[in-house]
Amino acid sequence: MAAVEALECKECGARYALEARHACDSCFGPLEVTYDFSGLDREGAKRRIQAGPASVWRYADFLPFERPPRTALAAGVSPLIRADRLAERLGLGEVWVKNEASNPTHSFKDRVVTVALAKAQELGYEVVACASTGNLANAVAAHAAAAGLESYVFVPADLEEQKILATGVYGTHLVSVNGTYDDVNRLCSELAAEREWGFVNVNVRPYYAEGSKTLAYEVAEQLGFELPDRVVCPVASGSLFTKIARGFEEWREVGLVEGDLPTFNGAQAEGCSPVAQAFEAGLDVCKPVKPSTIAKSLAIGDPADGPYAIDLARRTGGGIDSVTDDEIRKGIGLLAETTGVFTETAGGVTTAVLAKLAERGDIGADERVVLVITGEGLKTLDAVRGSFETRVIEPTTTAFAEAFQREAVTS
């Protein structure tokens, strides 16, 4: 018996059938998938997880399907790396890096898209679409290609070239919109109202969001069915951030893990920090901003789950911090030099916020911290251009010796 029950309004609690719908008819609040886990026994669930496939579908008991769907491109099961050199550099006790760059299109978006497209197919859609800050475009184009679905992806015109190229290659209809992500999103909401398409982050959004819970399940499983003490995670719409907490809560409910919910720290770029600003000002809702930052994958000026992200940070004793573009570049370098993981700008944001929390003394010496690195450095190469020196020499041993003479003497 599947645990999935209904769609429920996060504001007024109204319930709806499991269809393509994302807003409440009576109060316009966002809808979320609800489950009844009372029939799920802990040992059975654990056995199915451990015997399951090396993909998000090992957690099928906690996803919105009666029967686990078949998908053509596996997502999830990314490495959780103990980062002792990073911890040491920051004066911290125990830091783990969850490296989502190992997904098929090199970001955590493969998790949400595999779930959203499986649902879109179940609901009978033959065309799928999305509004994207870049990584979602990559993932929708790739998973649609693997599934044989037609796809349309809408992106802001100023997106990094690497992300455009890594999307178009899959044979999608790529639409570059003159405007910000928020303009693209509004356009997609209008198109969703007039077309029979499955928009992964509009009418299929409640299912899409469920995919992010698998990151939490994985962290807990990789820690031996234990919870970390703290999670540092980037915030764009706030969906990933809040769904990681939901994943941990569900596993506590079923008894797969015990203890308090970790402290949640959200990370934003100063050039697009509506959630951090609202948190700082003690507000419950965000004031929309016009983004201007190198962290384009986080550039959502009007975040749908902002209020829920603020609430999560508050009730777990965490916070939402922002960092400058310069700190983001340094964050990318710090992670690369201490862990061997090259992240895109979003991961630079997260690492820089971790460094800020460490410097402020907000993190206890005995805490186990998980740093969520959501994407791949090769997609935002401009962020590291000019950050190091390359020695150009003639092909002779003398030229090499001359170039490195000073280093050789001083070392």
Of 5, 11, 94, 226, which lies in the binding site for Zn ion, with binding defined by CB under 5 A? 11
Q: Give the neighbor-by-neighbor strand order of the sheet with 263-269.
A: 80-82, 94-99, 368-373, 230-234, 263-269, 319-323
Residue list 278-337, contact with ligand PLP (CB under 6 A): 297-298
* Contact of residue 235 among ligand PLP, Zn ion, none (CB under 5-8 Å per partner type): ligand PLP
Q: Is 103 in the site for ligand PLP (CB under 6 A)?
A: no
Stretches 84-92, 223-231, 234-242, 383-391: which one binds ligand PLP (CB under 6 A)? 234-242
Q: Is 234 in the site for ligand PLP (CB under 6 A)?
A: yes
Q: Is 169 in the site for Zn ion (CB under 5 A)?
A: no
Q: How far is the CB of 256 from ligand PLP (least distance, A)?
A: 23
Secondary structure class of 201 (helix, strand, coil): coil
**Cα-atom radius of gyration of the chain, to the nearest Å?**
21
Q: How far is the CB of 151 from ligand PLP (least distance, A)?
A: 17
CA angle 268, 204, 180 (to 5 degrees): 40
Of 55, 172, 237, 380, which lies in the binding site for ligand PLP, with binding defined by CB under 6 A? 237
Helix, strand, coil percentages in the chain from 3-state DSSP, rounded to 5: 45, 15, 40
Stretches 51-59, 217-225, 238-246, 334-342: which one binds ligand PLP (CB under 6 A)? 238-246
Residues facing residue 175 across a β-bridge: 154
Q: Which residues contact 72 (CB under 8 A, 6 or more apart)?
A: 143, 146, 147
Stretches 145-153, 228-236, 356-364, 392-400: which one binds ligand PLP (CB under 6 A)? 228-236
Q: Is 238 in the site for ligand PLP (CB under 6 A)?
A: yes
Cα separation of 198 and 122, whole Å? Answer: 11
Q: Is 235 in the site for ligand PLP (CB under 6 A)?
A: yes
Longest dimension (CA), the chain: 78
Among residues 95, 91, 136, 102, which one has the least CA distance to residue 117? 136
Stretches 32-40, 61-69, 232-240, 285-293: which one binds ligand PLP (CB under 6 A)? 232-240
Strands 31-35 and 4-9 come out as antiparallel
* Contact of residue 237 among Zn ion, ligand PLP, none (CB under 5-8 Å per partner type): ligand PLP
Of 135, 214, 293, 322, which lies in the binding site for ligand PLP, with binding defined by CB under 6 A? 135
Q: Is 120 in the site for ligand PLP (CB under 6 A)?
A: no
Q: Is 24 in the site for Zn ion (CB under 5 A)?
A: yes
Stretches 9-17, 180-188, 239-247, 317-325: which one binds ligand PLP (CB under 6 A)? 239-247
Contact by Cβ (8 Å): 274, 303? yes
Q: Is 121 in the site for ligand PLP (CB under 6 A)?
A: no
Q: Is 15 in the site for Zn ion (CB under 5 A)?
A: no
Residues facing residue 177 across a β-bridge: 156
Packing angle between helix 161-168 and helix 135-147, nearest 10 degrees?
Answer: 10
* Contact of residue 12 among Zn ion, ligand PLP, none (CB under 5-8 Å per partner type): Zn ion
Strands 4-9 and 127-131 come out as unpaired
Tokens of 73: 């491109």
Strand segments, DSSP code E, in 111-256 are 127-131, 150-156, 173-177, 198-199, 230-234
Q: Is 29 in the site for Zn ion (CB under 5 A)?
A: yes
Binding residues with ligand PLP: total (CB under 6 A): 17
* Contact of residue 297 among ligand PLP, Zn ion, none (CB under 5-8 Å per partner type): ligand PLP
Instruction: Summarize as ranges the residues that interact with Zn ion (CB under 5 A).
Output: 9, 11-12, 14, 24, 27, 29
Instruction: Summarize as ranges the residues that interact with ligand PLP (CB under 6 A).
Output: 107, 109, 135, 234-241, 297-298, 344, 346, 374-375
